[in-house]
Chain A
Amino acid sequence: MFEPRDAPYPELKKTHTMAHVGRPYTDYKPPAAAPVWAAIEGLARYHVLVAALELDLFDTMQRLGPARIEAINAEVRASLEHLRTLLDSVVVLGMLDQVDGVYELNDTAKRYLVSDGPATMAALIPVAPGPHDNWTRLADTVRHGRPSSPIEDDPAAFYVPLVEGTFTTMFRCATRADLKLRYSALRSPRVLDLGAGGAPWAIAILAGNPGATATVNDLPGVLPVAETKAAEFEVGDRVEWLPGDFHTVPIDDEGYDIVVLGHICRTEGEAGTKRLIDRAMASLRPEGTLILADYFCDIDRKLNPHGVLMGATMMASTLHGNAFTAQQYSEWIRAARFESIRLIEPIGFQQQFVATKPRRREDT
């Protein structure tokens, strides 16, 4: 096998390179170190952002408008030099602007990082990677096949801040999904939201369809988050609360028009996911709709970093969690006898499989 190397006689290299490699002449260059530095800096990037949020920098700068470091520090009351280093770091992350020493929120910060931004991720960022300690023990987790402190040991402690933090993003996605699914036009739909967290899907459907009712399920320790959110959106009177494990909690057979499995499958492994899809099938009325939201890998498990790294996140902190490919999910949904399977993406990074329970034979 030809090993590419720098040739001493460039005028000869063209022929040699073409003969051995089978491609036009190009200078051989050693690969860049950029991917390695990107990984090392990944830790710095994340903690810079978390620190900026912890110091309330984005909300402060929203109040101040364009400001110099002294004016910002008058609000934050930190070490001036350290604050400058932090702000400059946020600038190079592309999440703030700085011109002639004046710092200012850019469009990314206004949209995603201030706490009342239209698509704020401010509360999601600290909790989304899972317990931080688990990342420092990742090699041990790989070695032993399980994390030493899985979130299943105390699920409510982990999920309450997570579902509070992700609500804005998920609710926005669920609301935008009406542009794909028109759940607002259904006649008095009955919705089942399993492992609902803050119940962004159920609440979006209830808010979008005055005739809708919902059964919202999650662990007893998590359900109060959904109750609070439902009250906030004034839809709580149309919700039946169903505390319990989504694998075992009793559910009406053929009682629902929409069943939502929103970001719960990836903690359950293949067997658990298949059970959930089967439960959805059983609980749907004919022509009812399954909505399965999650992060999906590409078929080669290498072209969609977001999906693949979500698998690592699940591995770091859960007993059975993993990220599966869109192919796997679509085949499991099909195997459960769903029809008209499609994948939608109401907002960036958020995809859902949507599938229909077949009509009864006598209806056709």
Chain B
Amino acid sequence: MPERVDTIIRGWQVVTMNATRDIIRDGAVAVRDGRIVAVDKASIIDADYEADRIIGGDRFVVTPGLVNSHIHITGEPLTRGYVPDDTPFVENVFMWLCPLYSVFTAEEERLSAQLASVEMLKSGTTSFLEAGTTRFLDEVVDGLTEVGIRGRVGRWVWDLPPEPSVYRQATDEAIAHLEHQLDRYPAGPDDRIGAWSTLVGHTTCSDPLWLAARELATKHGTGMSFHMSPAMLDPDGFIEEFGHRPMVHLAELGVLGPDVVMTHCVQVDDREVAIIAETGAQVAHCPTTALKVSYGVTQVGKMPEMAMAGINLAIGTDGNNAANYSDMMRAAYLVAGLFKDARQDPQMFPAEKAYEMATLGGAEAMRLTDHIGSLDVGKHADIVLHDTDRPEWRPLLNVMNQLVWSADGRGVHTVLVGGDVVVENYSMTTLDESELYAASQIAGEMITARSGLPDKAKYPMR
């Protein structure tokens, strides 16, 4: 007698990312109560299970949902690409991004979070770790909940910079923000949206704040994330203040540990790589940002050495002025390619490794290894169906190569998060996309105009 499940997802090839990395031809996934109950040949699943709903079929490649381990869902999605692509790092961050972020209203941040999560879902990302630069957390969580994505979020928390004034926080206030968000939005395995102990990082935090964020992450059992060392500004700042580089200082403070996700880590030296490895801390690699904001990742980046040292590397798309897109498949493509070229070594970051970083690496970064990142029994049914009736997918001869090198998020046809179908036949099921896009256009124009930052597009518009 077949067992009842809610949904069976069928595919031409099912890329499981399980421990033995099985790819199942003519496979299927059975889902009940939002979790995976079986992954096998479709013929076996059909014999063992009976479902209310059958999804997919012969035309689809089925994969686990991707995990974006660093994205700004507020501030930048509604100002996407407004910052010219020829601005140096300091100008980019302090002249452009900070003022743009600071003029958002609560409604605009909610809209921004929805636009970002719709873009992620429609390109195959089902979970994300936010950069911790949100101002109106309640509205953002409300918007995300409507969309249906899985994520970990946090407020803009720092205590040293005095500007912009809307982000100015004394140390006590900054700590109170962290405590409040961690109490209000628990991040257990079954919480679709939860808060983390997030700091802006860089050189914006006092030691007491670093320590408080560390203690709060431990107390609440969440992870801790922050930006560090994309450019020399951070190492230079730490050396000036403390006499040594960021990882040395953070390790001395006791901040680093396996639950810490540091974003960028481009300007690190060998000793810092060793410290990251020893402490078990993880790194969110944002390849597009590194390219667009000229971090020098291919010149000085030590991602291959990090991988060799056993450091978990995850992938992020970062903000839409640093990367413009939130499509993890495009980011994985860059991860696979950058160091092949930089080191003139085609064995750097094979497609399979890049895809592991985008799935299992992200799951580990989000402290959800047992719950997302692969199609394994017991995990959340975060599942993506790629449409192979598209030119970039045919002929299908090596699915991992094609997932990373041929395809991108445009071929994502259907997406489930926790068993809920949130994208169906290329369209969102949870909100009206045309309304979202129209509202985003108006909001983007008003935010940029309000900021007082001029349109620096180089070609005229009449």
Q: A23-B207, A327-B452 are in contact. List 12 more A-B contacts (CB 8 A).
A: A22-B206, A22-B209, A24-B206, A180-B461, A298-B452, A299-B102, A302-B165, A333-B449, A342-B455, A343-B454, A345-B456, A353-B449
The CA-CA distance from A345 to B95 in the complex, in Å, is 15
B286 to chain A, nearest CB (A): 28
Q: Does B431 contact A (CB under 8 A)?
A: no
The CA-CA distance from A182 to B454 in the complex, in Å, is 17
Interface 9-residue window, one of B156-164, B225-233, B381-389: B156-164
Interface centre among A186, A296, A298, A333, by most chain B C-beta atoms within 10 angstroms, is A298
- Total number of residue pairs linking A and B with CB closer than 8 Å: 95
The reply to whether A182 and B453 form a contact with Cβ atoms under 8 Å apart is no
The reply to whether A180 and B460 form a contact with Cβ atoms under 8 Å apart is yes
**Residue-wise interface mask of A (292-314) relative to B, using a CB-CB cutoff of 8 A (1 in contact, 0 not):** 00001111101110010000000
The reply to whether A300 and B460 form a contact with Cβ atoms under 8 Å apart is no
The reply to whether B446 and A343 form a contact with Cβ atoms under 8 Å apart is no
The reply to whether B159 and A22 form a contact with Cβ atoms under 8 Å apart is yes
Residues on the B chain within 8 Å of A341, using CB: 445-446, 449
The CA-CA distance from A299 to B451 in the complex, in Å, is 7
Q: Could you list 24 examples of A-B contacts with CB < 8 Å?
A: A18-B208, A21-B206, A22-B172, A22-B208, A22-B209, A23-B171, A181-B460, A181-B461, A181-B462, A182-B462, A186-B462, A298-B99, A300-B164, A302-B165, A303-B99, A303-B164, A326-B449, A326-B450, A329-B449, A331-B450, A341-B446, A342-B449, A343-B449, A351-B454
**Residue-wise interface mask of A (23-61) relative to B, using a CB-CB cutoff of 8 A (1 in contact, 0 not):** 110000000000000000000000000000000000000
Residues on the B chain within 8 Å of A278, using CB: none
Partner of B241, one of A24, A343, A344: A24
CB nearest to A23 among chain B residues: B206
Residues on the A chain within 8 Å of B16, using CB: none
Q: Does B437 contact A (CB under 8 A)?
A: no
Q: Does A164 contact B (CB under 8 A)?
A: no
Q: Does A74 contact B (CB under 8 A)?
A: no
CB nearest to B159 among chain A residues: A22
The CA-CA distance from A330 to B454 in the complex, in Å, is 12
The reply to whether A330 and B446 form a contact with Cβ atoms under 8 Å apart is yes
B229 to chain A, nearest CB (A): 18
Residues on the B chain within 8 Å of A351, using CB: 452, 454
The CA-CA distance from A229 to B212 in the complex, in Å, is 66
Interface centre among A183, A302, A342, by most chain B C-beta atoms within 10 angstroms, is A342
The reply to whether B462 and A183 form a contact with Cβ atoms under 8 Å apart is yes
CB nearest to B209 among chain A residues: A22
Residues on the A chain within 8 Å of B207, using CB: 18, 23-24
The CA-CA distance from A178 to B451 in the complex, in Å, is 23
Q: Does B170 contact A (CB under 8 A)?
A: yes
A322 to chain B, nearest CB (A): 16
Q: Does A5 contact B (CB under 8 A)?
A: no
Residues on the A chain within 8 Å of B451, using CB: 299, 326
The main secondary structure of chain A at its interface with chain B is mixed
CB nearest to B171 among chain A residues: A22
Q: What bracket does the count of chain A residues touching chain B fall in?
A: 35 or more
**Residue-wise interface mask of A (346-364) relative to B, using a CB-CB cutoff of 8 A (1 in contact, 0 not):** 0000010100000000000
CB nearest to B449 among chain A residues: A330
Partner of B446, one of A179, A296, A334, A344: A334
**Residue-wise interface mask of A (181-203) relative to B, using a CB-CB cutoff of 8 A (1 in contact, 0 not):** 11101100000000000000000
Q: Does B448 contact A (CB under 8 A)?
A: yes
Partner of B455, one of A22, A180, A304, A327: A180
The reply to whether B99 and A343 form a contact with Cβ atoms under 8 Å apart is no
The reply to whether B452 and A326 form a contact with Cβ atoms under 8 Å apart is yes
Q: Does B103 contact A (CB under 8 A)?
A: yes
Residues on the B chain within 8 Å of A179, using CB: 460
**Residue-wise interface mask of B (180-210) relative to A, using a CB-CB cutoff of 8 A (1 in contact, 0 not):** 0000000000000000000000000011110
B242 to chain A, nearest CB (A): 7
Residues on the A chain within 8 Å of B452, using CB: 296-299, 304, 307, 325-327, 343, 351
Residues on the A chain within 8 Å of B453, using CB: 343
A287 to chain B, nearest CB (A): 10
Q: Does A248 contact B (CB under 8 A)?
A: no
The CA-CA distance from A14 to B99 in the complex, in Å, is 33
Residues on the A chain within 8 Å of B446, using CB: 330-331, 334, 341
Residues on the A chain within 8 Å of B102, using CB: 299
The CA-CA distance from A179 to B454 in the complex, in Å, is 14
Residues on the A chain within 8 Å of B462, using CB: 181-183, 185-186
The CA-CA distance from A186 to B450 in the complex, in Å, is 28
The CA-CA distance from A296 to B450 in the complex, in Å, is 10
**Residue-wise interface mask of B (134-159) relative to A, using a CB-CB cutoff of 8 A (1 in contact, 0 not):** 00000000000000000000000001
The CA-CA distance from A185 to B160 in the complex, in Å, is 50
Q: Does A136 contact B (CB under 8 A)?
A: no
4 tightest A-B CB contacts, nearest first? A22-B171, A330-B449, A326-B452, A345-B454
Q: Does A79 contact B (CB under 8 A)?
A: no
The CA-CA distance from A345 to B84 in the complex, in Å, is 13
The CA-CA distance from A327 to B108 in the complex, in Å, is 15
B157 to chain A, nearest CB (A): 13
Interface centre among B172, B446, B450, B457, by most chain A C-beta atoms within 10 angstroms, is B450
Residues on the B chain within 8 Å of A180, using CB: 455, 457, 460-461
Residues on the B chain within 8 Å of A296, using CB: 452
CB nearest to B452 among chain A residues: A326
Known A-B contacts A186-B462, A300-B165; A23 and B160 likewise in contact (beta carbons under 8 Å): yes
**Residue-wise interface mask of A (315-327) relative to B, using a CB-CB cutoff of 8 A (1 in contact, 0 not):** 0000000000111
A184 to chain B, nearest CB (A): 9
The CA-CA distance from A160 to B456 in the complex, in Å, is 33
CB nearest to A186 among chain B residues: B462
The CA-CA distance from A345 to B102 in the complex, in Å, is 21
The CA-CA distance from A300 to B99 in the complex, in Å, is 10
The reply to whether A327 and B103 form a contact with Cβ atoms under 8 Å apart is yes
The reply to whether A344 and B454 form a contact with Cβ atoms under 8 Å apart is yes
Residues on the B chain within 8 Å of A326, using CB: 449-452
Residues on the A chain within 8 Å of B209, using CB: 22
B residues 406-462 near A (Cβ < 8 Å) are: 445-446, 448-457, 460-462
The CA-CA distance from A178 to B461 in the complex, in Å, is 9
The CA-CA distance from A326 to B455 in the complex, in Å, is 13
The CA-CA distance from A18 to B205 in the complex, in Å, is 12
The CA-CA distance from A69 to B446 in the complex, in Å, is 55
Partner of A182, one of B99, B172, B208, B461: B461
A25 to chain B, nearest CB (A): 9
The CA-CA distance from A181 to B462 in the complex, in Å, is 5
CB nearest to A300 among chain B residues: B165
CB nearest to A334 among chain B residues: B446
The reply to whether A299 and B450 form a contact with Cβ atoms under 8 Å apart is yes
Residues on the A chain within 8 Å of B206, using CB: 18, 21-24
B67 to chain A, nearest CB (A): 34
CB nearest to A333 among chain B residues: B449
Partner of B450, one of A22, A182, A327: A327
The CA-CA distance from A141 to B153 in the complex, in Å, is 50
Residues on the B chain within 8 Å of A178, using CB: 460
Residues on the A chain within 8 Å of B455, using CB: 180, 342-345
Residues on the B chain within 8 Å of A333, using CB: 449
The CA-CA distance from A333 to B442 in the complex, in Å, is 13
